[in-house]
Amino acid sequence: MKYRHIMFSMIKNSHRGAINDIKFVPKTVKVDKKNPNDNVYAHIATCAEDGMILIWDSRHVSKEKWREENAKNKDVIWEPFQKIQLYRRDGTGELGLTWILFWKDQTDTFIWCSSDEGDLVMIDWSVKPPGDQKKGLQAKKEDVIIDYILQYYESERNFRPVLELARSPFYEDLLLTVHDFYFCIWKTSLRDYEAPIFRSSYTQNGSNTCGAFSPTRPGVIFITKTTGIDIWDFVD
User: CB within 8 A of 161, min separation 6: which ones?
Assistant: 96, 98, 114, 115, 116, 117, 118
How confident is the prediction along the chain (236 residues), in pLDDT tens digits per residue?
Answer: 566 666 677 778 899 999 999 999 999 998 888 888 888 888 999 999 999 999 999 876 666 666 776 666 667 778 898 999 999 888 788 999 999 999 888 999 999 999 999 999 999 988 775 654 444 444 454 444 446 888 899 888 889 999 999 999 999 999 999 999 999 999 999 877 889 999 999 998 899 999 999 999 999 999 999 999 999 999 87
* Residue 119 amino acid letter: D
Neighbour order of strands in the sheet with 82-85:
19-24, 43-48, 52-57, 82-85
> Looking at the whole model, is its pTM more than 0.85?
no
Q: Rounded CA gap, 156 and 80, in Å?
A: 32
Backbone angles phi, psi at 161, to 5 degrees: -70, 145
**pLDDT for position 155:** 87
Q: Rounded CA gap, 178 and 194, in Å?
A: 17
Domain ranges of the chain: 1-162, 163-236
In the chain, the largest separation of any two C-alpha atoms, in whole Å, equals 64
**pLDDT for position 100:** 97
